[in-house]
Homo-oligomer: A and B are copies of this chain.
Amino acid sequence: MSDTANKNRAPIGIFDSGVGGLTVARHLYKLLPEEDVVYFGDVGRTPYGGRSKEIITRFTRQDIAFLLEHDVKLIICACNSASSVALDELVKEHTIKMLGVIQPGVEAAVKRTGNGRIGVIGTNATIGSNAYASRIHLIDPKIKVFSLACPLFVPLAEEGYIDKEATYLIARDYLKTMHEVGIDTLVLGCTHYPLLKQVISDVMGDKVALIDSGEETARVAHDTLIGTGLLRPSDGTESTGERRYFVSDVPEKFEHVARKFLGEPINKITRVDISGY
Q: Which residues of A contact B (CB under 8 A)?
A: 43-45, 50-52, 54-55, 124, 151-152, 154-156, 159, 161, 164-167, 169-170, 173, 249-250, 253, 275
Contact = CB atoms under 8 A, between A and B. Distances in A.
Q: How many copies make up the complex?
A: 2
Contact of A51 (B165, B173, B249, B275): B249
A43 B55 CA distance: 11
A228 B155 CA distance: 43
Contact of A156 (B43, B152, B164, B173): B152
Nearest to A167: B166
Given A52-B250, A124-B253, A152-B156, 18 more contacts: A44-B55, A45-B45, A50-B253, A52-B249, A54-B249, A54-B250, A55-B249, A55-B250, A152-B159, A154-B155, A161-B170, A164-B169, A164-B173, A165-B169, A166-B166, A166-B169, A169-B169, A275-B275
Nearest to A153: B155
28 contacts: A43-B51, A44-B51, A44-B52, A44-B55, A45-B45, A50-B253, A51-B249, A52-B249, A52-B250, A54-B249, A55-B249, A55-B250, A124-B253, A151-B155, A151-B159, A152-B155, A152-B156, A152-B161, A154-B155, A155-B155, A161-B170, A164-B169, A164-B173, A165-B169, A166-B166, A166-B169, A166-B173, A169-B169
A253 B149 CA distance: 14
Contacts of A253: 50, 124
Contacts of A152: 155-156, 159, 161
Given A50-B253, A250-B54, A253-B50, A166 B170 contact: yes
